[in-house]
Amino acid sequence: MKHSLFGAFAAVGICLALPIRAQATTVKLATPLIASPQTNPVIDCAITNVGDKPVTVTATVFDFSGSDVSQPADPTACPSLTLAPDKSCIIQGKFSGTPALGFCKFTASSNKVRAVGHGEDPVTGVISSIPATTK
């Protein structure tokens, strides 16, 4: 009886000593409201993988009312892809009215990312940059 009880405790101890697999991480980031007051304003949302492993990311541009106004800047743009280490993607939000009021939302499969939203005038360039933070 002593040996079977000892064996049961030993089995529990071994199970507790085994590494526990971490649950998948989803990091959510967002910018505050961005204003771009120029004619034909644009809001860009960019995310960069600063880690040493690929990261799955999404990026979305929303207007002031919460509507998705995302338009990929190029074929390799966000909204959803896997970024290699030290790579970035960008997505633009096009606005018909002036000023543009919107924000960026991002998700990533790792916390090894940095993200930013830019208020931009297509003629003169970036007029404001606001880093995204976790919610």
What does the H/E/C string look like for 60-96?
A: EEEECCCCECEEECCCCCCCEEEECCCCEEEEEEECC
- In the predicted structure, residue 123 carries a pLDDT above the cut 90: no
CATH code that applies to domain 24-134: 2.60.290
Amino acid (one-letter) located at 13: G
pTM of the model: 0.76
If pLDDT is split at 50, 70 and 90, which confidence band does 24 have?
low
pLDDT digits (tens, 9 = 90+) for 29-63: 999 999 887 777 889 999 999 999 999 999 999 99
What pLDDT, on a 0 to 100 scale, did the predictor assign at position 41?
A: 81
Are 113 and 107 in contact by the 8 Å Cβ rule? The answer is no
Per domain, the residue ranges of the chain are: 24-134
Do the Cβ atoms of 30 and 130 come closer than 8 Å? Answer: no
Is pLDDT of 86 > 90?
Answer: yes
Among residues 65, 76, 66, which one has the least CA distance to residue 105? 66
pLDDT band for position 110 (cuts 50, 70, 90): very high
